[in-house]
Structure 1
């Protein structure tokens, strides 16, 4: 009887610990911007994001609005974003994720490892905005070198980001009309972001937005 009681108590403790860890992890997660459709408001709210994005631009020669539009599409600016779960046995049993993509940039584990190795950014985390935007700048820059795609071409850059450099060369996207449609949305959003940024970047550089709070 005592053994059963101890086992029952142990199970309750385990459940409590798991629940506590889940709640703690959720509380540590960075919330997405309130208005994801306006780049000025994003940078006003997340006051360290503009500096990180500007550093990425200076380092890789990539315009800010392109990776930001791609990031919107990939994760909606959620630091803990993951792809949906995969299921087996007629969709009844969850079995991992459909890919290893994670974080703001939805970078897959092997590609992220390549980035870390090539840049030496050994402490980089996919759920850190500064690291994620730098990763995207690195990828966009490599896409330009490998496939000759302009760093300003959000449409073709997103196709490369989704299909990989080899997949883009093989034109695998031509069989995915949904992906072409999504890439057009990314292009449209990047143009909107670019226009918005022109109206507020001087204030962002001077820190005027942040000084009023």
Structure 2
């Protein structure tokens, strides 16, 4: 197929835009269809996680939005000695999924993915899928239950069983926000899934 000057220019512009996206947060974090159109590699990773762990696509994304805002290098706030001297951080949570050192190590051992990085989106979403699968097995929380899944994610499996969240008045509304976002993402994804499945180039040529 011969490319017209317009198509050639458009193709070059799109290629440049894709390169510029890199690891920056998506421009439309409130729209999962927009996220996947901007970052088609994230969509591929989401489908792999869905198949491997049996989790719905919308729940890991809602959890990661809440935890890091889709920021690759997200970290917890610093602690200060005498209010002025930096003294470590509130916790070891880091990366897209805000996974702590200990549980990240458990994930690596459990899956054999010793090379996995919390700053790699594919690894981070796989971690969330793994955690959700364990939550379903350990505490019997349905994988589509974003509210219960998030409480497990935040409090840990033992904390959830001991209902530590009940004493944290601020946490339950946050879990409600995760559920609301998961529901929103699910509705959005249902409306664009067929288009996304055509693949980037299929959508590109149809658009031209």
The answer to whether TM tops 0.5 is: yes
Task: Provide structure 1 residue ranges, at least 5 long, that are not aligned to the other structure.
Answer: 1-26
Partner of 1:178: 170
Contact 1:29–1:79, Cα closer than 8 Å, also in 2? no
Equivalent of 1:138 in 130, 144, 148 = 130
TM-score when normalising by structure 1: 0.84
Q: Considering only aligned residues, what root-mean-square deviation do their CA atoms show, in Å?
A: 1.6
Q: Are residue 67 (structure 1) and residue 60 (structure 2) matched?
A: yes
Structure 2 distance, partners of 1:32, 1:167, is 31
Partner of 2:153: 161
Query: CA 1:38/1:210 → structure 2, altered by over 3 Å: closer, same or farther?
Result: farther
Counting only pairs closer than 5 Å after superposition, residues 116-127 of structure 1 correspond to structure 2 as: 116-127=108-119
Contact 2:40–2:200, Cα closer than 8 Å, also in 1? no
Which entry has the higher C-alpha Rg, 1 or 2? 1
3-state SS, counterpart of residue 88 of structure 2: strand
Quick check: 151-160 or 201-210, which moved more?
201-210
Equivalent of 1:58 in 51, 55, 69 = 51
Task: Provide structure 2 residue ranges, at least 5 long, that are not aligned to the other structure.
Answer: 1-19
Deviations 1:159-205 (A, max 9, x none): 00000000000000000011001000000000000000001111212
Deviations 1:65-105 (A, max 9, x none): 0010000000000000000001111x111101110000000
Contact 1:32–1:77, Cα closer than 8 Å, also in 2? yes
Structure 2 distance, partners of 1:162, 1:55, is 24
Partner of 1:100: 92
The count of corresponding residues between Structure 1 and Structure 2 is 186
Structure 2 distance, partners of 1:157, 1:30, is 26
Contact 2:195–2:203, Cα closer than 8 Å, also in 1? no
Structure 1 distance, partners of 2:46, 2:26, is 15
3-state SS, counterpart of residue 41 of structure 1: helix
Structure 1 distance, partners of 2:22, 2:73, is 7
